[in-house]
Structure 1
Amino acid sequence: MKTLLCFLAFLSLAAAAEIEPQPFLVASQRLIEATSFLGTPFSDDEIITLKAAIAQNDAAAVEKAQAVLDAHALFHVTITPEQRVKVERGSAKAVLDESGWRQYLVRVDNEAGVTAKLAASSPQAKIMYVPGSPPVMPHSQPKDPGEPALAARWLDMQMFEAPPVQPTLSGLSLEYRIIQLYSRDAGKRDATFSFDTGQGTQDLGFRNEVSVLFDCQPAREVKLAITDENGQPCIAELLIKDKAGRVYPSQIKRHAPDFFFHPQIYRGDGESLKLPDGEYDVVFRRGPESLPESRKISISGQNTTLKFQVKRWIDPSLRGWWSGDHHIHAAGCAHYSVPTQGVHAPDMARHCMGEDLKIGANLTWGPCFDYQKQFFTGTEDKESRHPFLLRYDVEVSGFGSHKSGHLCLLKLKEQMYPGGDSTAHWPTLCLNTLKWAKKQGALTGPAHSGWGLQPIASNDPNFKEPYRGPGKYASATDELPNYIIPPFNGIGACEYIVDVTHMVPGPAGKPVPAVDFMSMVDTPHTWELNIWYHTLNAGFRTRISGETDFPCIYGERVGLGRAYVKIDGRLNYDAWCEGIRAGRAYVSEGKSHLIDFKANDLELGVNGSELKLAKPASVKLTVQAAALLDTQPRPDIQTAPVDRKPFWDIERARIGSSRQVPVELLVNGVSVQTQNITADGSARDLSFDVPVEKSCWLALRIRASSHTNPIFVIVNEQPIREKRSLEWCLKSVDQCWSQKEALIDPTEHADAVAAYEHARRVYRERLAE
């Protein structure tokens, strides 16, 4: 035995002698820096040894450094001259932290001089869910997640490839890489690891696999005391990172109510979270009306309670304006379909509360429809906690008339179109769906209005292409209103140009508008607003509401698009919807507000928002305006094309490098007066005097941030009619028909022909007026 040990020592010395000291020891210095940055530095004695070896810079120094590094190597990888990669267990003790990250070294003997990336994989590190949606077909089922079982996927890992280390192997005969490992659990856990430097480089048999049994140390249970601005218990957002920027808890190891597709979590007063001892950066906030708080925290045996209190810059609800998002989803898009088909009401309610979003319309749609439909009740969900109200309704998307434009159907009494129990039997003409919904008294409007309405020239090569991301439309205009006929080739407010002209039977048989509102904030603002301005100029009175389409267009959080509705008395879902129908609302991304808009003391949304004048006169408009901008500009948002996210953001309204934004007065969609305000969070009372010569609609906006509904000023009983807008609408009907006719089921073709011809007739008649 003694002879064998001496022989092994001789081999180690011989190997050290073959290693070039200077590059190896420079790389050792980088390891000192990287492990310190990642939060698990070498011991003081080890650092002294390593630095002495670096200073010595010879073969003996390599041997000393190697002894220190090998003690931290969990894996020993060998790349053969044929570039076959095999792995053995290293000498480091296998210990991990529950809900936390640890770093280990990977020793790499690189006999082939490979300079590719070294990749690691483990079955236990697979994601804990099947992301996305099952096929959007009636009674479809999610796919099998495969092996191992989801519950056995306890590990997360990543190779550290950021400075100061290089992202790839150096080609040196010996070097060390850093692997980061995260444990979801406490206790004994086993995982199998393999390594490669590209496809097909794994060694044969079991030489490219090694099994490691870990002792996962329990994390601290950190108690939370979270209160609102009044000291009352609440739910709020926490974004937790370590100094290496790693998110806690690991996103790929999350199940609801924590969503894997965004970094933050939502926790309430008296709840807790698990963190290993260490230093963390925490950002605390509760929606866009709050002021984010950033702090550094230290978790140890002496500090296991964290206290946070919300700080606001504004609270529109104190003046009776209640926030809501009429378009969020519990299934599809970024959600998973396994282990459950989407998430459930308690999860969505928690996210709404954490974003201080008072109304959440949880819309069941194509993905997981047959599972999610069971939660519809026709009233507020039992998870609602006043004033945070959640209700299930429907988006016609992935089925039925969706190819002519998705529809939001709110305040339904029945969610299933007659004639079936799933999605295959729904109408393919939006108007037929709207007629059914309107008989129930539903609130209806197109979703994500701008899709298909990009204002680009007909000779643009991308004119016929649906929206595929930013930067595709060089010829697009930012003008509002503009008179370009868009392609009408998407899933936004396309058939709206037809349906807005229709009156259909309501609950008591009395004719009501087929469309109540247009959705704003989640598509480019010029695409959304232009068609709305033109139909208002044609004499129609469609209102607007704000939406996010979470987690499809935006997965960051619910409530990125909001409608603030004025409610008299106690807030409830139906009253909020009726406020949208009445136009007693403004839309916003939450960073600017246009509160209590009035014309000659007529409140927005009261008496049909109609102000009557016997003859031309001056009208006085008043509003309380407030906005909040960061002190430093964000050029990446401020100067971004309108079709790049975020589509609505107060940064887009910033004037130069100042902190000012313009509040614009619109007459029939044209900006005629502007008053600048400082976006420092302060509320300011503004007034405008505008001469009104003929019937028109008036509104205020902070461009791409907030917009009021209109007040209609009727002079001498004359209707609102703008010739160029009516001509635009008439041409748009034909363009829409050219795109949508082929998508209508033959059984509804006659209905569609009649619906479109009705729209043409209405626009022609109004042109004649």
Structure 2
Amino acid sequence: YAPAGSILRQPEGATPYFYTDGKFVVTLPPGAARLEFWRGVEYLPVRVDVDLQSDAETAVRLVRWVHLAEQGWYSGDSHIHLHTGGPIKVEIADALLAARAEDLNYSNLCVSNNVGDDIRDAELITGKPHALSDERHLLVFGEEMRSSIYGHMQFFGIKKLVEPQYTGFDNTPLSNDYPPNFEQAEEAVRQGGVVTYGHPIFTNQPDPFAVDPLVHNAAARELPIDAILGKVHAVDLMCYGSDEDLSAQLWYRLLNCGLRLAASVGTDALLDHPTLPLGGERVYVKVDGKFTLESWLDGLKAGRSFVTNGPALALRVNGQGIGETVRLDAPGKVRVEAEVQSACPLSALELIVGGNTVRSEPCPAKHGGGIVIKQLVTDIAMEGSGWVALRARGPESRHVFDGPAWAHSSPVFVTVAGKPIASKKDAAFFVEWIDRLIDSMGRRNRYAKPEDRQRVEALFRRAQTRFQEIATADR
């Protein structure tokens, strides 16, 4: 049930819900009724059973179990769609209501094509928060650039639509696989924007090349190329429908090649469809000073972030926080201080070094008002330059969207004797990855003229050479 005039959203397999500004009237049949109240991941959900035949008044108070903004951490979602031709009529005011109800600070409302050539709201991209935004909830129109072979990217903070907004879509004016994503990412950066790749690896598709290249695929195949050529700032480790662990494994390999890429989140929530909510998974960014569009994007680019569908993370290495760098003159030990807090059940707090789990601590049962708190202090040896990150895991629960509880920090980097992070094994992985992408390009062969394909391949080979240099360097 929902109030008259409101939108009742009914995601498949999930509880129906509606948003409210705090006041509503709903008509229910006689008898008992159950009401549930939620407000994002920082508040404890409240369930109330009432007897509608009684005149009794029931007061409901939502309790905030953690206030991350007070600590300088502000939430965001890189990948929200407002108008996609869906069955629900929505306006920009509905996006603000949803952001306030979910307590989401930065909503990147992505302009993109829908099934074909239908691109809506491009004129709303200005590089500034929309006029309906408030101080704590910014609505900013950005873009999802979509290729059916190279992958999908989200752009934050751009000042106008980056074109072409899509490539490689059947039965459209842009059915060819040209230009490569690199060119659009480069333009987004030129405009002062921030670039992240969305849904890198999908659930049940661990190998993005083990599929028919003629079929549309949104996995982040061009990500390694654009990243090593300096046009990517972040990777969406979480998205409804993607695989967090597999996406993280790909990200680890990029970090191990010396690429400083922040952890981000893009749910791919569709506000004009009955999907799971915006911000059900989110990225938290540590800002310097006042929360603004600019300070939030600066924090994301600097890697001061963690991603989550519930748990809150904190990490310091030799006193340096997430996104910062510890410098050692020689190999030695570093002191790690880590903490997770969570309103949802957790199973483990894991310390990740260079992509390997070096410490896994079981998390306690809930306590302290239903909150899980686990702290970890340990010394770890760093034999060479690398990175340290924190991950938390938990079981599925009704208060967590899109699978089990999961959270991951961006790294704290450790530089030893001034040397770069450079994994030969992971660089060789991307040398082969690019060969496989070029092979898929050839089998698909969607180019208006041979010169276009040659230009794309030359770009990819340039990136491959960078990885090859890491893989074969005498370090």
Q: Scaled by the length of structure 2, what TM-score is found?
A: 0.84
Residue 160 of structure 2 corresponds to residue 408 of structure 1: no
1:194-205 to 2 correspondences below 5 Å: none
SS at match of 1:707: strand
Whole-angstrom CA distance in 2 between matches of 1:706 and 1:598: 16
The residue that corresponds to 1:726 in the other structure is 427
* Aligned 1:700-715 pairs, distance under 5 A: 700-703=390-393, 705-715=406-416
**Deviation of the 1:521 alpha carbon:** 1.4
Can you list the C-alpha shifts for 1:205-244, whole angstroms capped at 9, x where unaligned? xxxxxxxxxxxxxxxxxxxxxxxxxxxxxxxxxxxxxxxx
Q: How does 1:658-697 map to 2 (within 5 A)?
A: 661-678=347-364, 680=366, 681-697=371-387
Distance 1:409 1:284, change over 3 A: same
SS of equivalent residue, structure 1 residue 265 = coil
TM-score by length of 1: 0.53
Q: Calculate percent identity across the aligned residue pairs.
A: 24
Is the Cα contact below 8 Å between 1:429 and 1:748 reproduced in 2? no
Q: Paired residue for 1:519?
A: 236
CA contact (8 A) 1:328 1:550 kept: yes
- Shift in CA distance, 700/619, structure 1 to aligned 2, threshold 3 Å: same
1:76-130 alpha-carbon deviations (Å, 9 max, x no partner): xxxxxxxxxxxxxxxxxxxxxxxxxxxxxxxxxxxxxxxxxxxxxxxxxxxxxxx
CA 767–698 in structure 1, closer or farther in 2 if over 3 Å, else same: same
Residue of structure 1 equivalent to 2:402: none
Identify which of 340, 360, 372 aligns with 2:107.
Answer: 360
Residue in structure 1 matched with residue 397 of structure 2 by the alignment:
none
Structure 2 residue runs without a partner (length 5+): 167-171, 394-404
Q: Are residues 275 and 745 of structure 1, via their aligned partners in 2, closer, same or farther at CA, if it must alter by over 3 Å?
A: farther
Sort the Cα spacing of 1:452 and 1:723 in 2 relative to 1 into closer, same or farther, 3 A. farther
How many angstroms does 1:546 deviate by? 1.4
1:259 CA displacement: 3.8
Matched with 1:215 is: none
Confirm or deny: 8 A CA contact 2:40 2:101 kept in the other structure. Answer: yes
Cα deviation per residue 1:29-86 (whole Å; 9 max; x = unaligned)? xxxxxxxxxxxxxxxxxxxxxxxxxxxxxxxxxxxxxxxxxxxxxxxxxxxxxxxxxx
Q: Which of 484, 495, 516 is the matching residue for 2:222?
A: 495
Larger Rg: 1
Task: Name 1:329's counterpart in structure 2.
Answer: 81
Flag the structure with more relative contact order, 1 or 2, with Cα contacts below 8 A and sequence separation at least 6. 2
Match of 1:385 in 2: 134
Residue in structure 2 matched with residue 244 of structure 1 by the alignment: none
What displacement does 1:297 show?
2.3
Contact 2:151 2:219 in 1 (8 A): yes
Choose which of 272, 275, 293 in structure 1 pairs with 2:46.
Answer: 293
Looking at structure 2, the residues matched to 269 and 554 of structure 1 have their Cα atoms a distance apart, in angstroms, of: 21
**Cα 1:515–1:662, aligned 2, differ >3 Å: closer, same or farther?**
same
Look up the SS of the partner of 1:272 in the other structure. Answer: coil
Partner of 1:699: 389
Number of the residue aligned with 1:316: 68
Q: Is the 8 A contact 2:237 2:263 kept in 1?
A: yes
> In the alignment, what sits opposite 2:94?
347
Query: Separation in 2 of the partners of 1:310 and 1:676?
Result: 29
Q: In the alignment, residue 393 of structure 1 is paired with which amino acid?
A: G
Q: Cα offset for 1:745?
A: 5.0
Q: Do the aligned residues in 2 keep the contact of 1:402 with 1:430 (CA within 8 Å)?
A: no
- How many equivalent residue pairs? 440
Partner of 1:396: 145
Q: Is the 8 A contact 1:427 1:433 kept in 2?
A: no
Within the candidate set 726, 741, 748, 2:452 is matched to 748
Q: Give CA deviations for 1:351-381 in whole Å, capped at 9, x if unaligned.
A: 1211121221111111285442243332111
Partner amino acid, structure 2, of 1:604:
I
How does 1:357-756 map onto structure 2 within 5 Å?
357-367=104-114, 369-397=118-146, 401-417=147-163, 424=173, 428-451=179-202, 454-455=205-206, 463-464=210-211, 490-502=217-229, 513-522=230-239, 523-551=242-270, 555-590=275-310, 592-595=311-314, 597-605=315-323, 609-630=324-345, 661-678=347-364, 680=366, 681-703=371-393, 705-741=406-442, 742-746=445-449, 748-756=452-460
CA displacement at 1:694 relative to structure 2: 0.8
Could you list the per-position Cα deviations for residues 706-762 of structure 1 after superposition, in whole angstroms to 9, with x for gaps in the alignment? 111012211111111112111111111111222234245546323311211111211
Q: Is the 8 A contact 1:291 1:312 kept in 2?
A: yes
Looking at structure 2, the residues matched to 377 and 457 of structure 1 have their Cα atoms a distance apart, in angstroms, of: 34
Give 1:275 shift: 4.0
Structure 2 CA distance, aligned partners of 1:372 and 1:277? 44
Counting only pairs closer than 5 Å after superposition, residues 141-156 of structure 1 correspond to structure 2 as none
CA apart distance, 1:289 = 2.1
Distance 1:414 1:736, change over 3 A: same
Whole-angstrom CA distance in 1 between matches of 2:18 and 2:109: 19
Q: Which structure 1 segments of 5+ residues have no match?
A: 1-247, 467-486, 503-512, 631-653, 655-660
Question: What amino acid does structure 2 have at the position aligned with 1:518?
Answer: V
Query: Aligned-pair distance for 1:332?
Result: 2.5
Whether 1:768 and 2:472 are equivalent positions in the alignment is yes
> 1:331 Cα deviation (Å)?
2.3
